[in-house]
Amino acid sequence: MGILSMKTQILAFGASNSRQSINKQLAQFAAEQIPNIDLDLADLNDFELPIFSVDLEKKAGIPEAAYRFRDKIELANGIVISLAEHNGSFSAAYKNLFDWMSRIDANVWMNKPLLLLATSPGARGGKGVLEHAKKLYSFRRELPVPTFSLPKFNTNFEEGTIKDEQLYTALMTSVKQFIAQLTP
Ligand SMILES: Cc1cc2nc3c(=O)[nH]c(=O)nc-3n(C[C@H](O)[C@H](O)[C@H](O)COP(=O)(O)O)c2cc1C
């Protein structure tokens, strides 16, 4: 990114380390609905980290992968996260990355606008983890964090798009709320 770039920088990722992550696909699709952006589509597999422990941190410090992801957040004007739901909560890979980054600075998202998404093959579409994340990440924010959950991914995400009109409209409502919060 050069200093002459006028485009809004968006970081998008699936909060999962599955190589075929359906959440990564949804995060990418949602980000692509935003006009005139530079998209940084991240893959958690490129940020592999040991399981967080205070002992390891004391012994070896914070791994560089946590700093590398933090750099991405710093460059972004806004962040699109699609959360995988594992047993009603965050995937271990995502939670672990978040824990490491929280040791660099507790304000992990640096007050950047967030668009929170979730999808799963099931009918609830990851709503549990989405609500949990919304509550956590709304702390000390003035503006509401827009969210969208896509149920039954394998039926509702076809040929790289959401064909169901109601679902697409619901996604776009949240995308527009997110766009309104972006300041380049
Ligand atoms: C350990 C584990 C726990 C899971 N728990 C849930 C769950 O609580 N709710 C749900 O909707 N799906 C659950 N699933 C299914 C995931 O939604 C599914 O694997 C989905 O593809 C995850 O998203 P990803 O492809 O982005 O990793 C679970 C999957 C695994 C491997």
Task: Please write the tens of the pLDDT for every residue from 76-94.
Answer: 999 999 999 999 999 999 9
d(CA 110, CA 91): 22
- Tens digits of per-residue pLDDT, 148-179? 999 999 999 999 999 999 999 999 999 999 99
Two tokens at 90?
Answer: 């965050």
C-alpha 58/C-alpha 24 separation (Å) is 33
**183 band by pLDDT with thresholds 50, 70 and 90:** confident
Q: Give the tens place of pLDDT for each residue, 22-71.
A: 999 999 999 999 999 999 999 999 999 999 999 999 999 999 999 999 99
Cβ < 6 Å from ligand 1: which residues? 14, 16, 18, 21-23, 84-88, 120-122, 124, 126
Task: Look up residue 162 and give its amino acid.
Answer: I
The answer regarding whether domain 8-181 maps to CATH 3.40.50.11440 reads no
Which of 45, 99, 44, 112 lies closest to 73 in space, CA to CA? 112
| Residue spans per domain, the chain | 8-181
Distance 51 CA to ligand 1 centre (A): 20
Ligand 1 geometric centre to CA of 175 (Å): 24
Q: Whose structure tokens read 């380049």?
A: 184
Examine the pLDDT at 5 and tell me if it is beyond 80. no
Ligand 1 atom at minimal distance to the Cα of residue 20 = 25
Q: CA 102 to CA 94: how far, in whole Å?
A: 12
Neighbours of 16 (CB within 10 A): 25
pLDDT reading at 184 higher than 90:
no
Q: Is the pLDDT of residue 115 over 70?
A: yes
Nearest protein CA to atom 24 of ligand 1, as residue = 21
State the chain's mean pLDDT as an integer: 96
